[in-house]
Structure 1
Amino acid sequence: MIEIDPLMGLRMINDGSVSLLSTRREGKTNVSTVSWQMPLSQDPPMLGISLTPSCLSNELLRESGEFVLSIPDASLIAETHYCGTHRGDSEDKVRSMQFRTMRARKVIPLLVTNCIGHLECAVRDVYPFGDRLFYASRVVAALVEEDYFDNGWNENAQTLHHLGGDRYKTGGGILDAKKWPLPQQMPNLPPLF
């Protein structure tokens, strides 16, 4: 695992993949699945996540102000789905899912090292939106398994994408837009404006 620039780390969520959210307070760690996350800013590098107010992760996050987004690959589909459909109040999901963890570089929550990438984040603002809370957060550190990342996910990375319910898909092949020709410009057309 290598550390990369937090701005480059935002590319880990550009594809809309599912993340595992790790929160921690006073030795209590919870891991839940997050499908609604997005980059917000490049300078400083920031992202946003949307959470249900009643979940344990929300409680721990509001108290600690820090979290880790870990990016699972397809090998963790069962664990990822379980963490998104079961509450952490009554069980230790880290133990029951047999996740391997390690200390983060700059925040208190743990990294789920079974995953292929990690974004360590500090909350800047929280906004209520409908039935959700939206956390605008600064990325303070980013780590990635280098076999899966070349300035973005490469062909080895089979990130998960939640389609709703029990259905997920993995990323397909990677297309390089510069290798695709543009349509020929039509000659002698009048300008549109």
Structure 2
Amino acid sequence: MIEIDPLMGLRMINDGSVSLLSTRREGKTNVSTVSWQMPLSQDPPMLGISLTPSCLSNELLRESGEFVLSIPDASLIAETHYCGTHRGDSEDKVRSMQFRTMRARKVIPLLVTNCIGHLECAVRDVYPFGDRLFYASRVVAALVEEDYFDNGWNENAQTLHHLGGDRYKTGGGILDAKIWPLPQQMPNLPPLF
């Protein structure tokens, strides 16, 4: 695992992949699934997450002001789904899912080392939106498994994308965009049909 610039780390969530949210207070750790997260700012590097107010992660996060987003790959689909459908106040999901953890570099919550990337975050602001709380947070450190990341996820990274209910998909192939010529610069081609 290597540390990368927090700004570059924001690319870990550009694809809309699901993350595992790690929160911790007074030795109590919870891991829950988050599928509503997004980059907010490059300078400073910031992201936003949306949580249900009644969940344990929200309680721990409001008290500690710090969290880690760990990015699972497709091999963790069962664990990811479980963490999103079971409450942490009645069980220790880290133990139940047999997650390996390690200390973060700059925040108190733990990294779920089974995952391929990690964003360590400090909460800046909290906003109520409908039935959710939105956390605007600064990325203070970013770590990634280098076999999966080349200035962004590479072909080895099979990130998970939640489609609703118990359905997920993985990221598809990677396409490199090219700047197309302006219409007046295109050659005269015969019609296709």
* Common fold by TM > 0.5: yes
Deviations 1:28-67 (A, max 9, x none): 0000000000000000000000000000000000000000
> TM-score with structure 2 length normalisation?
0.94
Instruction: Give how far 1:119 is off.
Output: 0.1
Distance in 1, Cα, partners of 2:192 & 2:59: 54
Distance in 1, Cα, partners of 2:190 & 2:168: 47
| 1:173 counterpart SS class | coil
Deviations 1:68-97 (A, max 9, x none): 000000000000000000000000000000
Distance 1:115 1:185, change over 3 A: same
| 2:108 counterpart SS class | coil
| 2:76 counterpart SS class | helix
Distance in 1, Cα, partners of 2:115 & 2:105: 16
Instruction: Give how far 1:190 is off.
Output: 23
Structure 1 residue runs of 4 or more that deviate by more than 6 Å after TM superposition: 179-182, 186-193
Instruction: Give how far 1:99 is off.
Output: 0.2
Instruction: Give how far 1:178 is off.
Output: 2.1
| 2:128 counterpart SS class | strand
| 1:81 counterpart SS class | helix
Deviations 1:160-183 (A, max 9, x none): 000000000000000000287776
Distance in 1, Cα, partners of 2:181 & 2:158: 27
> TM-score with structure 1 length normalisation?
0.94
Aligned to 1:52: 52
Instruction: Give how far 1:186 is off.
Output: 7.0
Aligned residues: 193
Mapping 1:24-39, distance limit 5 Å: 24-39=24-39
Distance in 2, Cα, partners of 1:191 & 1:75: 46
- Gaps spanning 5+ residues in structure 1: where? none
Distance 1:182 1:130, change over 3 A: same
Distance in 2, Cα, partners of 1:75 & 1:189: 46
Distance 1:64 1:173, change over 3 A: same
Distance 1:174 1:184, change over 3 A: farther
Aligned to 1:130: 130
Distance in 2, Cα, partners of 1:183 & 1:164: 41
**Percent of matched pairs sharing the same residue:** 99
Distance 1:153 1:186, change over 3 A: closer
Instruction: Give how far 1:8 is off.
Output: 0.1
- Aligned residues: CA RMSD: 3.9
Distance in 1, Cα, partners of 2:12 & 2:112: 15
Distance in 2, Cα, partners of 1:66 & 1:144: 19
Instruction: Give how far 1:192 is off.
Output: 26
Distance in 1, Cα, partners of 2:121 & 2:5: 13
| 2:17 counterpart SS class | coil
Distance 1:178 1:134, change over 3 A: same
Distance in 2, Cα, partners of 1:113 & 1:91: 20
Distance 1:60 1:43, change over 3 A: same
